[in-house]
């Protein structure tokens, strides 16, 4: 009964017995490698006092390991066809519950209040459906949920962008958004062969340690993110050209040069060379100038 779910044989058997064909449109690539599962669960640093939220349990391969480590597990699955399977595979784990729904629609604050009262910390741990990786992570972060860690398997390219430092081609608005809320750490790169069916992209496990406080303070957080986004609209253009296009007219755009210089930022630099601290300084200076 407690046998590992994540073997090729058990996965294929279960799917066959329930007559299920996996859906590409739902990002259904199931893990069949116990070592990879152990790496994911290990990175979340769970124990009996902690809770875990899983997004997309599939047939329960990861859920099972989470239930063994954490005190309480809530798994959100959109595909109704998988619910009877999960009932069967998770039967030995009364501390694991399945919620049927679309993670992007679920009221996470309410889920926290209802399911995780009294636990000492909650992590999100998942092998994410790749078609909505970024929206899921941004929702978790922007909701400002009291999470400790987010440990997720995602596309390797997206993981590299999330963890990128200034100066390279991977660094962009996603890097800054994620690093504003978290400290990212690449846990491991994962080959295609550990999934059924195998995805077309390389995968990686990333750990996002959620910060208590953002690393920079700004007068207007939404404006800070707007400035960052504007700075990468055309990656090949200078910071001056991108910001002039967003915030200035032909008549007054010379003022932007003064603002940039007042922050010690050369107008000829590209957005990808600015640190988060420089974006914070710049967005506050622009804010004061424009409003």
DSSP secondary structure of 99-117: EES-TTTS-HHHHHHHH-T
203 belongs to the binding site for ligand SAM (CB under 6 A): no
27 belongs to the binding site for ligand SAM (CB under 6 A): yes
77 belongs to the binding site for ligand SAM (CB under 6 A): yes
**Residue 282 backbone phi and psi in degrees, to 5:** -65, -40
**Residue 209 backbone phi and psi in degrees, to 5:** -85, 115
160 belongs to the binding site for ligand SAM (CB under 6 A): no
29 belongs to the binding site for ligand SAM (CB under 6 A): yes
Closest approach of Cβ 160 to ligand SAM, in Å?
19
Q: Which stretch binds ligand SAM (CB under 6 A): 12-20, 99-107, 171-179, 269-277?
A: 99-107
Identity of the residue, 31 or 216, whose beta carbon is nearer to ligand SAM in the bound complex: 31
How many other CB atoms sit within 10 Å of the CB of residue 68?
A: 15
104 belongs to the binding site for ligand SAM (CB under 6 A): yes
Q: List residues bridging with 73 in a β-sheet.
A: 52, 96
243 belongs to the binding site for ligand SAM (CB under 6 A): no
The residue with its CB nearest to ligand SAM is: 56
284 belongs to the binding site for ligand SAM (CB under 6 A): no
Say how many Å lie between the first and final Cα of the chain, rounded: 64
| Residues in the annotated binding site for S-adenosyl-L-methionine | 29, 31, 56, 77, 102, 127
Neighbour-count burial of 226, counting CB atoms closer than 10 A to its CB (0-12 exposed, 13-18 middle, 19+ buried): middle
Asked whether the CA dihedral 194, 199, 205, 207 is positive or negative, the reply is negative
Binders of ligand SAM: how many residues, by CB under 6 A?
22
Cα(158)–Cα(49) distance, integer angstroms: 31
Closest approach of Cβ 157 to ligand SAM, in Å?
16
Task: Candidates 64, 127, 231, 241: give the one binding ligand SAM (CB under 6 A).
Answer: 127
Task: Candidates 15, 53, 74, 76: give the one binding ligand SAM (CB under 6 A).
Answer: 76
Q: Which stretch binds ligand SAM (CB under 6 A): 50-58, 164-172, 215-223, 269-277?
A: 50-58
Cα(114)–Cα(262) distance, integer angstroms: 49
**Residue 123 backbone phi and psi in degrees, to 5:** -120, 150
Task: Candidates 14, 30, 178, 184: give the one binding ligand SAM (CB under 6 A).
Answer: 30
Cα(130)–Cα(106) distance, integer angstroms: 18
Cα(138)–Cα(146) distance, integer angstroms: 14
Identity of the residue, 79 or 160, whose beta carbon is nearer to ligand SAM in the bound complex: 79
51 belongs to the binding site for ligand SAM (CB under 6 A): no
Footprint on this chain of ligand SAM (rule: CB under 6 A): 26-31, 55-58, 61-62, 76-79, 102-104, 127, 129, 132
């Amino acid at each position: 009964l407690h046998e590992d779910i994540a073997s090729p044989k058990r996965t294929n058997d279960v799917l066959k017995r329930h007559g299920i064909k996996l859906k590409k449109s739902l990002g259904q690539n199931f893990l069949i490698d116990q070592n990879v599962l152990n790496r994911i669960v290990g990175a979340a640093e769970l124990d009996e006092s902690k809770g875990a939220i899983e997004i997309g349990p599939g047939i329960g391969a990861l859920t099972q390991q989470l239930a063994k480590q954490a005190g309480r597990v809530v798994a959100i699955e959109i595909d109704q066809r998988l619910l009877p399977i999960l009932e069967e595979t998770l039967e030995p784990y009364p501390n694991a519950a399945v919620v049927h729904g679309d993670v992007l629609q679920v009221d996470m604050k309410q889920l926290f209040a209802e399911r995780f009262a009294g636990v000492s910390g909650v992590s999100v741990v998942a092998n994410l459906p790749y078609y909505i990786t970024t929206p899921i992570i941004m929702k978790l972060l922007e909701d400002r949920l009291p999470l400790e860690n987010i440990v997720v398997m995602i596309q390797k390219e997206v993981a590299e962008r999330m963890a990128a430092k200034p100066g390279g081609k991977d660094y962009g608005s996603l890097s800054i958004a994620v690093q504003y809320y978290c400290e990212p750490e690449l846990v491991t790169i994962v080959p295609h062969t550990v999934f059924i069916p195998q995805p077309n992209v390389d995968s990686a496990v990333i750990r996002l340690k959620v910060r208590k406080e953002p690393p920079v303070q700004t007068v207007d957080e939404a404006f800070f993110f707007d400035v960052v986004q504007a700075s990468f609209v055309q990656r090949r253009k200078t910071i001056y050209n991108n910001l002039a296009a967003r915030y200035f007219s032909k008549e007054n755009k010379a003022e932007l040069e003064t603002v940039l210089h007042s922050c010690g930022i050369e107008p000829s630099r590209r957005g990808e060379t600015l640190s988060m601290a420089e974006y914070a300084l710049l967005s506050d200076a622009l804010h004061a100038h424009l409003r």
